[in-house]
Amino acid sequence: MNNQTAEVLRMMTIFIPLLFVVGFFCVVVTRNLVRTLIGIEVLSKAVTLLLVVAGYTTGRTALAQACVITLIMIEAVVVAVAAGIIVNVVRHTDSLDRRNLEELRG
Amino acid sequence: MIVDLLILTALLIFVLGAAMKRDTVKAAIALALASIMLSVLMFRLASPLAAVFELSVCAGLITVVFMSTISLTKPLTVLEEERLHLRGRHFAVLPILVLAAAGLLVMVGIPTDLALPQAASAQDVRSVLWNERQLDLLGETLVILAGFFGILVLFKDKPTGVGRTGAAWLKAERFRKEKSDETTKVESNQPDPAIRV
Amino acid sequence: MAAFLIFVPLIGIITLNLPFRFLRRFAYGYAITVAAAQAALAIFLPLPLWNRVLAHFFGLERLDLSADRLSLVLLLSIAIVMFAALQVGCFTIRSGKRRFEFVNLVVLAVTGLNGAALVHDLFSLYVFLEVAAVASFTLIALERDKLSLEGGFKYLVLSAVASVMLLAAIALLLMSTGSTAFAAVHAALLGSSNPMARIAVASFVAGLCIKGGLVPFHGWLPDAYTAAPAGASVLLAGIVTKTTGIYTLIRLMSSVFGPVPQIQAVLLFVGALSIIIGATAALGQKDFKRMLAYSSISQMGYIVLGLGAGSALGVAGAVFHLFNHAVFKTLLFVNAAAVEEQTGTRDMDTMGGLSARMPVTGATSVVAFLSTAGVPPLAGFWSKFIIVVAVWSAGQHAYAVIAVLASLLTCAYFLSMQRRVFFGVLAQEFKDIHEARLAILVPEVVLALITIGVGVMFPRVLETFILPIRSVLG
């Protein structure tokens, strides 16, 4: 693997896990429903970057891009449905607090 | 190389901003900026088509979805954030966590002698997409259809709020009707205290 | 031929949604026909014909879809559960418009699951699993009441996180092997000890455990199953969770990873943990469906335990138990739907003596729980027996003992359910209820007959379905 690819890989090995850390933290710790969605988006960005890097380092940029394009479309659909659920929740509870969604316990 | 490093750092900062900013509108904007950074990065990593998609869908469409959601729930967001600190005080820990993780990764070291497969010849994305990944396109169509139904179910009409089924629903209806009949009957039986004979 | 299982439903959905009002009434009939056709094909069409491509159909031959023994078992399970879900859903949802949306979503989910059963590429597998997932989010939140939205949101968040983990694994495998197709990745992974590949496998297993609702990632499962409307619960519990979690795990282990001792150890542990925690939690439940949800977690543990045994016998047992669970868990959820519709509640403490007024539901419930608890000669007994034997002969005596003892726990919580709901004195407020309507009785009886039939005719089933699965494992 040539020098340039090695450099890129070295940088990515540090940054991509950091993105994952931010994403996971965001999803787990927040109580705001919209921020949970933001966390999911951050995780998707991390994975998108990982896919692109995978394509770049192996030279299979076409395959990686095809996967990324499909992935982005699916992400958009999931976000739209999640937004729909959040808007409906707010209609019921008038709040974005996740603690309102704790009724099903036990 | 330096450019890539700068872009990555900017990406990380924007992502942190999206996670940590109290006001969700600003957080959504930070997310959009992060998408733009990611898009630039993808251009530099020989993935132009994906970069365009990232720009138009993530920095564009998804941000619009976020903004609409936030505006549909806006009066609450600002109030709640300020009164209830929904973001949680724990979030202040995040930058520290990130720096710690970064330090850890740098120390652990990055294996530079990974055996990667032979670099393949560059192919045109469009030909790959249409000729080899047709299955993915089919699946994507199905996801979009499913999403379409999702939006249809979730956004059309007011919610019925009735999660019960069949006989239970009928029983609830009957009960509600009886209740309202009762109250009207009770009201009409009460003598009007204002009338004096 | 295999491609039809995706295209026929897809064309159906597009047709049903054309702007002609009169087409709506065909939705239910169409969906039932698809389910019946799929079941018939899975049982009767010999394997080579499945993969014979009808080359002159719009270039379908370029799609890499083909079936093997494992896929056939799954396709049959999908068809059976789809039938039951349609019956329950279409006859318990009040609004005609909701019913139409329900049928469309069920067909979409099933199309996604069919695709997952037939693909040979990691990324395509992810895409089809997402189809089923997105359809499921909406199915859970169909009635848009607060509890359904809660269950739907929890499932969405965890499913999205799990998908991210699967994708990360796919990306890492792409980086280490240069491809996403099963065969290519399998060949490249043989004998390689790339650290990226190891992280990828770990990420895969973790993501699939979340999707399959195994402990400790089961947090979303009871909420989603309980809050979903009756028809959606049947579909979710019967097949969606199984396919997106366990089936994918089986497929990956057999076609991509091969037997890796570390994964097997993890699977054994996670399986045993799920069995115990699921069964224990089920004991303390008041809500009928919530108890069934924890029971599902427990039974998934058995399947994973069989996988962890590592032998061909273990995998065969796991696949058999997957099929059996699809049948008897669906039956239980159909019963729960029938009871909920008649009594208006899911609180088992307020019910009692219902079998006096709902004899068929009560009887089929007994069949289902005996099968779940592993009582001979019902089907559940055989699959559990195979799993226990496989685990024991793999040297994991402790785990085998746990599996057997947990059957006692299973018996306990189910007996408690039967006693509270069906036996005993008929509660006063329920003296006017009657048996579930015929549309719901049909799947109850059919599913019970399948459980009994498969159990009684076990030797025949063994040769035609189970032993051939071993050929899948190379």
Q: Which residue is closest to B52 within chain A, CA to CA?
A: A69
User: Can you give the pLDDT at residue C465?
Assistant: 65
Mean predicted confidence (pLDDT) in C54-78: 75
Question: Which amino acid, residue A25?
Answer: F
Residues of A in contact with B38 (CB under 8 A): 45, 48-49
Distance CA A65, CA C84 (A): 40
DSSP code, position A106: -
Q: Which residue is closest to C107 within chain B, CA to CA?
A: B146
Q: To probe the interface with A, which of B5, B8, B11, B114 has the most A CB atoms within 10 Å? A: B8
| Number of domains chain A contains | 1
Tell if the CB–CB gap between C131 and B162 is shorter than 8 Å.
no
Question: Which amino acid, residue C158?
Answer: L
Owning domain of residue A40: 3-103
Count the alpha carbons within 13 Å of C271 in the hemisphere toward its beta carbon. Answer: 29
Residue whose C-alpha is closest to residue C336's, from C279, C420, C275: C420
Q: Which residue is closest to B20 within chain A, CA to CA?
A: A26
Q: Is B127 exposed, middle or buried (0-12, 13-18, 19+ CB in 10 A)?
A: exposed
B148: phi > 0 → left, psi -120 to 50 → alpha, else beta; which? alpha
Is B27 a domain residue? Answer: yes
Residues of C in contact with B117 (CB under 8 A): 176-178, 188
Backbone angles phi, psi at C138, to 5 degrees: -70, -35
Tell if the CB–CB gap between C172 and A54 is shorter than 8 Å.
yes
Helix (H, G, I), strand (E, B) or coil at B1: coil
| B3 close contact with A: CB closer than 8 A | no
User: Can you give the pLDDT at residue C164?
Assistant: 96
Bridge partners for C181 per DSSP:
C121
Is C282 a domain residue? Answer: yes
Distance CA C283, CA C297 (A): 13
**C189 pLDDT more than 90:** no
pLDDT, mean over chain C: 85
Beta-carbon pairs below 8 A across chains B and C: 137
Chain segment C247-294, per-residue pLDDT in tens: 999 898 888 887 778 888 888 999 999 999 999 988 888 888 999 999
Owning domain of residue C325: 262-474
Residues of C in contact with B168 (CB under 8 A): 340-341, 343-345
| Number of domains chain B contains | 2
Backbone angles phi, psi at C56, to 5 degrees: -90, 15
Mean predicted confidence (pLDDT) in C185-189: 81
Alpha carbon C223 to its chain centroid, in Å, reads 17
User: Can you give the pLDDT at residue B193?
Assistant: 47
* DSSP-assigned letters across all residues of C96-165: HHHHHHHHHHHHHHHHHHHHHHHB-BHHHHHHHHHHHHHHHHHHHTTT--HHHHHHHHHHHHHHHHHHHH
How distant is the Cα of B79 from the closest Cα of chain C, in angstroms? Answer: 22
Chain segment C310-350, per-residue pLDDT in tens: 888 888 889 889 999 999 999 999 999 888 888 888 888 87
Tell if the CB–CB gap between B117 and C176 is shorter than 8 Å.
yes
Mean predicted confidence (pLDDT) in C172-189: 84
How distant is the Cα of A105 from the closest Cα of chain B, in angstroms? Answer: 18
- Confidence category of residue B112, pLDDT binned at 50, 70, 90: low
CA distances from B56 to A105, B43, B122, B125 (A): 41, 14, 24, 18
Q: Tokens at residue B80, please? A: 């709640």
Q: Tokens at residue B47, please? A: 């993935």
Sign of CA dihedral A19, B6, B98, B88: negative
| Number of domains chain C contains | 1
Q: Yes or no: say if C413 and C279 are a contact pair by the CB < 8 Å rule.
A: yes
Q: How many CB atoms lie within 10 A of CB C288?
A: 25
Report H helices in C374-433: 379-393, 397-421
SS3 of chain A: helix, strand, coil, percent, to 5? 85, 0, 15
Distance CA C405, CA C97 (A): 47
First to last CA, chain C: 24
Q: Yes or no: say if B23 and A38 are a contact pair by the CB < 8 Å rule.
A: no
| B188 close contact with C: CB closer than 8 A | no
Q: Which residue is closest to B153 within chain C, CA to CA?
A: C142
Q: Yes or no: say if B147 and A81 are a contact pair by the CB < 8 Å rule.
A: yes
The CATH number for A27's domain is 1.10.287.3510
Is B18 a domain residue? Answer: yes
Instruction: Report the residue from B12, B19, B124 with minimal CB separation from A26.
Output: B19
Bridge partners for A32 per DSSP:
A97
Q: What's the CA angle centered on C401, arms C400 and C402, to 5 degrees?
A: 90
Is C300 a domain residue? Answer: yes
Q: Which residue is closest to A90 within chain C, CA to CA?
A: C146
Residues of C in contact with A20 (CB under 8 A): 168
Residues B126 and B60 placed together within one structural domain of the fold: no
What is the signed CA dihedral for B136, B138, B141, B143, rounded to 10 degrees? -60
Bridge partners for C119 per DSSP:
C65
Predicted TM-score (pTM) of the model is: 0.89
How distant is the Cα of C271 from the closest Cα of chain B, in angstroms? Answer: 31
| C164 close contact with A: CB closer than 8 A | yes
**C351 pLDDT more than 60:** yes
Residue whose C-alpha is closest to residue C75's, from C29, C120, C44: C44
Is C169 a domain residue? Answer: no
- Which residue in the block uniquely carries the two structure tokens 């269950």? C151
Chain segment A58-78, per-residue pLDDT in tens: 878 888 889 999 999 999 999
Chain segment A77-102, per-residue pLDDT in tens: 999 999 999 999 888 877 777 776 66
Q: Yes or no: say if A54 and C172 are a contact pair by the CB < 8 Å rule.
A: yes
How distant is the Cα of B167 from the closest Cα of chain A, in angstroms? Answer: 23
**B10 pLDDT more than 50:** yes
| A80 close contact with C: CB closer than 8 A | no
Distance CA C399, CA C308 (A): 10
Residues of B in contact with A28 (CB under 8 A): none
How distant is the Cα of A102 from the closest Cα of chain B, in angstroms? Answer: 15
Mean predicted confidence (pLDDT) in B186-193: 49
Tell if the CB–CB gap between C130 and B139 is shorter than 8 Å.
yes
Helix (H, G, I), strand (E, B) or coil at C358: coil
Owning domain of residue B64: 1-73
Q: Which residue is closest to C7 within chain B, CA to CA?
A: B138
Residue whose C-alpha is closest to residue B172's, from C129, C340, C426, C299: C340
| A101 close contact with B: CB closer than 8 A | no
Mean predicted confidence (pLDDT) in B153-169: 59
Residue whose C-alpha is closest to residue C319's, from C68, C135, C140, C83: C68
How distant is the Cα of A96 from the closest Cα of chain C, in angstroms? Answer: 12
Q: To probe the interface with B, which of C129, C145, C235 has the most B CB atoms within 10 Å? A: C145
Question: Which amino acid, residue C354?
Answer: L
Distance CA C297, CA A25 (A): 26
Share of chain C above pLDDT 70, in %: 95
Bridge partners for A55 per DSSP:
none
| C neighbours by CB contacts (3+ pairs under 8 Å) | A, B
Distance CA A64, CA B51 (A): 12
What is the signed CA dihedral for C291, C294, C295, C298, rounded to 10 degrees? -160
Tell if the CB–CB gap between A104 and C149 is shorter than 8 Å.
no
Chain segment C373-426, per-residue pLDDT in tens: 888 888 888 889 889 988 888 887 888 888 888 888 888 888 888 888 888 777
Instruction: Report the residue from A46, A58, A77 with minimal CB separation from C178.
Output: A58
Chain segment B36-69, per-residue pLDDT in tens: 999 999 999 888 889 999 999 999 999 999 999 8
Is C230 a domain residue? Answer: no
Residue whose C-alpha is closest to residue A49's, from B72, C42, C172, C336: C172
Residues B68 and B128 placed together within one structural domain of the fold: no
Is B92 a domain residue? Answer: no
